[in-house]
Amino acid sequence: MIVTIDVDKMFKLGLTPDEYTLLLLIQNRALVSAKKLMDKTPTLTCSTLEKLVDKRLIHNSNQPGEMDVSHIMLRNEFIGEVKKDDFFDELLREFPSTIIRPDGIKDYLKTDLNKCRRLYIQTVKKNEALHKEIMECLKYEVRERNRTGKMSYMKRLPNWISSQEWATWQTQREDNSSTETINLGYGLNLE
């Protein structure tokens, strides 16, 4: 199982990497992996669980001296902090999953998500304004491609991020919003 550790959140919660990983595994219901981590990591002891209870991150219904991960429940303090979506998760929800290419073959657009996450985080760098602009451009692109029937030409996510495709659509969106067409009847369009 792959676990992505947000170091900033880990430090904010005052946890060690082992503690943070354990809590993420429990959150993802990967109890077998959590049990293996507890067995193979000497720093994860009963006192560690008590420390996490004191920090109000977990509720431990184990008996004293017992370390059964199935008896550990996460509290809202941890879940609320970890569940905050990062920008990439929001992008992933909006980005189309599949399309039908012009040759009739179904294509999956969300590929190589780990690489995409790194690229997007490097591009946005916690700049919320840039992220919102990218999201608006993505929504505009999807809407325009659906309207014109060109959805089959949508790039895959890794290429879309690395080529900064949103910049093209940002320019087009600004051009379309600045020139409003007034329809006066057949042959009498004014811009």
Question: What's the burial of 142, exposed, middle or buried (CB within 10 Å: 0-12/13-18/19+)?
Answer: middle
First-residue to last-residue Cα distance in the chain = 56
Give pLDDT, residue 94. 92
Give pLDDT, residue 148. 92
- Domain's final residue, options 35, 52, 82: 82
CB proximity list for 20: less than 8 A, separation 6 or greater: 5, 9, 10, 13
Give pLDDT, residue 97. 93
Q: Check whether residue 100 and residue 178 sit in a common domain.
A: yes
23 is in which domain, residue-wise? 7-82
Q: Check whether residue 76 and residue 99 sit in a common domain.
A: no
Q: Check whether residue 135 and residue 119 sit in a common domain.
A: yes
Give pLDDT, residue 178. 61
**Is the Cα torsion angle 147, 152, 157, 158 positive or negative in sign?**
negative
Of 97, 91, 177, 84, the residue nearest 134 (C-alpha): 91
C-alpha angle 15/21/25, rounded to 5°?
A: 135
Give pLDDT, residue 128. 83
Give pLDDT, residue 186. 66
Mean pLDDT by 10 residues, the chain (191 residues): 79 90 87 89 86 88 82 86 76 92 93 91 87 93 93 94 92 75 59 58
Task: Give how many domains the chain has, as a whole number.
Answer: 2
Helices (H) and strands (E) in the chain, counts: 10, 6
- Domain's final residue, options 38, 66, 82: 82
